[in-house]
Amino acid sequence: AQSVTQPDIHITVSEGASLELRCNYSYGATPYLFWYVQSPGQGLQLLLKYFSGDTLVQGIKGFEAEFKRSQSSFNLRKPSVHWSDAAEYFCAVGPRAAGNKLTFGGGTRVLVKP
Amino acid sequence: GAVVSQHPSWVICKSGTSVKIECRSLDFQATTMFWYRQFPKQSLMLMATSNEGSKATYEQGVEKDKFLINHASLTLSTLTVTSAHPEDSSFYICSARGPAGGSANTGELFFGEGSRLTVL
């Protein structure tokens, strides 16, 4: 069965500092990979996705993520965080076949200090 | 494009009543929608897959008689929480596969804003 692990439940970072959120997955084959962001009381917004090709993908809001097959990881990074980046971040995996049933990680809550 | 909207965004009801939550794809047709439940400070738990014109597929442990799902059109799926109790209080989120030929083929889902249910 597939699973997604986000080892860090909370991360606190100073504004302007870099941010890295970890995501590890267990899957039978190479899945589709996603990062979503959720602001309090809101739905989820897609930050970026990986399907194939270049393993370093660029997303919105200055985020990027790198797919490392050997490590089964898809870590999210941002060089310089803004106060508005404070939110909950979810990594998700889904099958390449039809179905689109995503499996979500437990989420990482990011707090940005002034 | 690919906007998904939920209504209501929040609802408070008395124990024993039923509550309906709507999920609409505003600018595309969605043959498949998904309903998730999210407890405070937790991740999303898939409840069921809603298929237009057919019965929903429920995940293990989800009571189909408790959470009625109807997907009567290509742009609307509804989740009805029947005989709601305080333990049903949660944040319910729907999502839809994107437009055919585009993100529908690549696994991307578009999410509604969520509906917070509080059962007194």
Of B49, B91, B108, the CB nearest to A46: B108
CA dist A77 and B111 (Å) reads 23
B99: which chain A residues are within 8 Å (Cβ-Cβ)?
none
- Residue A98: predicted pLDDT: 55
Choose the mutation target among A30, A74, A100, A102 for the interface with B, i.e. most B CBs under 10 Å: A100
Token pair listed for B85: 């109790």
B115 touching A, CB under 8 A? no
CA dist B31 and B105 (Å) reads 13
Could you report the per-residue pLDDT of B46-58, keeping only the tens digit for each?
999 988 888 999 9
A105: which chain B residues are within 8 Å (Cβ-Cβ)?
43
- Residue B58: predicted pLDDT: 95
Contact A44 B34 (CB under 8 A): no
Residues of chain A predicted below pLDDT 70:
97-100
- Residue B1: predicted pLDDT: 60
Tell me the C-alpha to C-alpha distance, in Å, between residue B107 and each of A9, A72, A96, B90: 26, 19, 7, 26
Q: How far is A85 from chain B (nearest CA, A)?
A: 17
Q: How far is B18 from chain A (nearest CA, A)?
A: 22
Residues of chain B predicted below pLDDT 50:
104
Residues whose CB is less than 8 angstroms from the CB of residue B104 and which lie 6 or more positions away in sequence, other chains included = B97, B98
Contact B44 A90 (CB under 8 A): yes
